[in-house]
Structure 1
Amino acid sequence: MFEKKTIEKRDFFHFIPAALAIIHIIPWPGLAPLDWNLILVQLHVDTYHSLEAKSGLFPPAFHYALRPILTLTYLGLTWFAVIKSKILWKQTIDHATRDWVLFLLKIATFFQISGLMPWMLRLLELPIDNSVFIVINCICILMIILYALHRPSIFYGFLLVAIDWNKNEWKERLVSNHLTVPEDFDLSEIIKVPRPLLLPAKKPNLSEAQISAYLGLIKKEMEDDRLYLNQDLQIIDLAARINIPVHQCSFLINNHIGKNFRDWINSYRITYFLSQYPILADRITIEAIAQKAGFKNQATFYNAFKKEKGVMPTAYFSHGENVSG
């Protein structure tokens, strides 16, 4: 809600209850033996709310009084923080984030209050029927499941996937990995991005002679066998042909050729396209020639062409550019 990135000193106060709980259960020297049978019997009645036997270092009130007070205090402070943050009214807050905050907080509030009801009724000396609370909790769980089935989109970007597909986060992820994102890029293309491209390249320990030799092999394989004409070519295929690890191949291309793998093979494809265009332009379309050059779809081709030549193909040819590249 407040977009805090670090823990402040005052936040460590929230660890005090957990620290006290640990201190409470440590078997300190000189501590009187605990009657575990009595503790189990009392816990069975109504969990820690009915625990009046000594269960550790602190007196029984540590459980049956302090825990409910602590729960109510945190619930109150949490709702106060929600109202203070104005998350309910801010338009800049992402709807999914706001829905999740309120969804989880409402569930937590209901179950915590439901768990405290027997304690409250006991204080008011009212009759208690635990089966009623069990039924209420079960009904609530069923309603939560039905709500989640009715609105599965609340999980997108939070539990089911790491990216919210309704936004442009997938484009940002590709850009962060130095991949080109065409404006009309098909979302299904993301699934086809090879995993090696998504991994950060390791810096290999190679000598200058090895770097020179490997670069020669990489270029030779690409140019002599025209690997770039293969629409499904991946960096793992090129690395396998010259028998080097994928991360070394990626490092050599990125740092010594000066382009990422996708841009590099697309530059070969553009050059091949320009060499074939004068021959095939009268018989087939630009898009068909682009497919022959190794491009999988029209959007990728146009994006790569503009990145390589600075203009779209139509503008390039209309200005009478040298089609030989």
Structure 2
Amino acid sequence: MFFAKRGVRLLNRLLSVIFISRFGQVLVYLLVGSNERTVYSFFYQVFTPVYYLAPACFYLYVTAFINGRSQLRKFEWFHFIPFFLAIVHILPWPISPPVNWSAIADQILENKQLFITERSGLFPSWFYYVGRPILLLAYLTATWVAILKSKFIQEKVGADGKKWILFFVRAATFFQLTSFVPLLIWDLEGSLFNALFIMLNCVVLLVIVVFIMHQPKLFYGYLFVAVDMEEDKEEVEEEVKEFPKTEAPAKKVNLMSDQVSVYADLMKSFMESKRPYLQANFQIVDLANEINIPVHHCSFVINKFLEKNFRDWINGYRIDFFIIQYPLKSDKMTIEAIAYESGFKSLATFYNAFKKETGLMPKAFFLTKKVS
């Protein structure tokens, strides 16, 4: 994600730092728990600057996302001051006092990574057990304030963007606030509590993963940013076998030309006003039910009057929607995510339909638009 070329690089890198920080916490805990105490101290020091960087990246990611920015402003670089101080803190200065790694390991096992009271570098211990919690709470509060003040949430467009950012912030808020739970039981014997606490975190994480996997627009649009479905154009341009058509078996249809024209206008009006093509599973049966026309009449009008089959006809609306949305959202979403938002169920179908409608692949099409 950090080195991904797709999507907005700023957002990719900020988000990757957040995940790296979380990974570091888990890795250090596992190393301590498995008695790899000679190794854990190295990784503890390596990840310490990342811990001080993650809260700022969390805030900057959300604000850049909701404001549609792809670059940091000059004053926003000041957010990285704690990160550089943490680097100074962990460097092996000659004046640095010795570190009691055994005591730090014991506190980590007590699930108190956020509140290590032992000195771990150049600065006093309060730099860690006071500095990190304050930094975390300050940026968490600032992030929620930025969201609530922004018009991004009230806007009627960008439903998937709003869904993602609210999901992301709520999940992050849960994990950040649960880090403070050990503070409430500081003087208690917490072995059983620690086990329950870890199980709760794992369950919540599992729920989050399942949710994301069932939300392809979120997964491909904001997390799996490195995917490049246009990298191999020959493979993409291969003809894709269509799914079995859902249209009703052919029946003898006797419709007057005027009635066919009325039906066609009614169908077009419904598609343009209600935009049912944004639903990936919308079928001709659903169209017939919505406008109260027999299915075989719908099929007849599409095939004979509009001179398309239902799949190509509805995909034409989806491609038109994509062409409008892509210039508005390409700075925050990948082509794949906008394709899903446009109603396509698979990427192969999208690329095949786009080539059929425009004669070009998406990147070539929009490049031609810019030149013209």
Normalising by structure 2, what TM-score? 0.43
Point out the structure with max Rg over C-alpha.
1
Please state which structure has a larger fraction of its residues in helix.
2
- Point out which structure has higher relative CO (alpha carbons under 8 A, 6+ apart): 2
Normalising by structure 1, what TM-score? 0.49
